[in-house]
Amino acid sequence: MYQIGTKDVKCLDKSAFEQAKLKVLLKQNDPHGFGTLKEKTVHAVMKLYYEPNEDCHEVPVEGYIADIYADGHIIEIQNGNFNRLRPKLAAFLPLYRVMVVLPIPHSKWLIWMDEASGELSKKHKSPVTGNVYHAFPELYRIKQFLGHPNLSFAFPLIDMDEYRLLNGWSKDKKRGSSRYDRMPLALFDEILIEQTQDFLQLVPYTLEEPFTVKEFAQIAGIHRDLASSALPLLTHMQILSRAGKRGREYLYEVAPQCRMGNRHRPTAIGMRFHNGFNINNTWNRYHYLLYYGGVSLCGETFRTAEGFVCRNIVYLVEHGRLLLRTAKHLC
């Protein structure tokens, strides 16, 4: 669990995800598990995952319909096209805590559907493995709201089947085709951004400073296009700052205000962790908070000499995995 204000929200609760998925599938009458609800399947599952109480779903707030509203907190689940979020965020953020959820396909299998007969093709695995950096093109659409103290994010990485209609313009009808629905299979991981500084976890700790877009992409294991969309936004949020140029390329470094404690480059820690997605390993997501935040281990909580409270980062190493717990008290 982690907390937004006074409301507890699940964090990587795979059992709750399976329960939400089963409940949605039982509501639908299609033999393939989709199609009878106006609401898309991933969206419906995510709503039940974050708030099982359906009385809190689709609640009118400030002239808009909030996906989830409970105890003064709003959760908006958006599968893409963050342009639609702008008017809602403008109305909600001055008055409420808002968490925006963007489900990201992790491993995806494509299934093609004939519109006339309903015949389905065999599954084909997409060569693209999704990661948290795929959120940045969408985040750019709400750039003016990034950094707002009432705004937080959750990026669940979901293994899923994607059904597409053979209605495209190409000879095989695949190019320009329409997506029919996506069926979630499993919750692989979940990345939480509770405050702006948490974006620092997306800067690989093995990256030598200053660095270029190309170097960032290589170390993070992502395409250069994704790095090109990520670094300007990280700079806009003052997570990174520009440090001159090398030839025709801009150089970047961690912004001074993000180096609250130990200013020295930390060394890699030789422990085996769950390394599911491409930002070196799970430990990287919290490495900067622990070292650049000047955080010291004290029992089961972390704190800084400056009194900077690293919320939400109590970790236990068990069976080679990082477990996340909520830090409720300082040492």
Q: At a CB cut-off of 8 Å and minimum separation 6, what does 162 contact?
A: 105, 108, 109, 110, 111, 126, 179, 181, 182, 183
Provide the angle, in degrees to the nearest 10, between the axes of the packed helices 213-220 and 224-236: 110
Pairwise CA distance, residues 90 & 247, whole Å: 40
Pairwise CA distance, residues 282 & 275, whole Å: 6
Amino acid at residue number 15: S
Considering only CA atoms, which of 165, 237, 166 is closest in space to residue 200? Answer: 237
Pairwise CA distance, residues 219 & 92, whole Å: 37
* pLDDT band per the 50, 70, 90 thresholds, residue 28: low
* pLDDT band per the 50, 70, 90 thresholds, residue 15: confident
What's the mean pLDDT in 289-310?
36
Q: Residue 123's CB: how many other CB atoms inside 10 A?
A: 11
Q: Tokens representing 196?
A: 């702006």
102 Rama class: left (phi>0) / alpha (psi -120 to 50) / beta: beta
49 SS3 class: helix
Considering only CA atoms, which of 174, 107, 42 is closest in space to residue 33? Answer: 42
Amino acid at residue number 133: Y
pLDDT at 243 over 50: yes
pLDDT at 35 over 60: no
pLDDT at 154 over 90: yes
Pairwise CA distance, residues 146 & 199, whole Å: 11
Amino acid at residue number 111: I
Residue, of 213 and 258, whose pLDDT is higher: 213
pLDDT at 286 over 70: no
What's the mean pLDDT in 90-94?
96
pLDDT tens by residue, 174-197: 888 888 888 899 999 888 888 888
* pLDDT band per the 50, 70, 90 thresholds, residue 299: very low
Amino acid at residue number 302: F
pLDDT at 214 over 60: yes
Q: Tokens representing 331?
A: 């040492």
What's the mean pLDDT in 150-155?
94
pLDDT at 2 over 70: no
Residue, of 56 and 271, whose pLDDT is higher: 56
pLDDT at res. 182? 87
What's the mean pLDDT in 77-83?
91
* pLDDT band per the 50, 70, 90 thresholds, residue 19: confident
What's the mean pLDDT in 293-300?
37
What's the mean pLDDT in 153-163?
91
Residue, of 325 and 100, whose pLDDT is higher: 100
Supply the DSSP symbol for 122: P
pLDDT at res. 151? 95
pLDDT at res. 11? 61
Pairwise CA distance, residues 325 & 313, whole Å: 6
> Model's pTM, two decimal places?
0.74
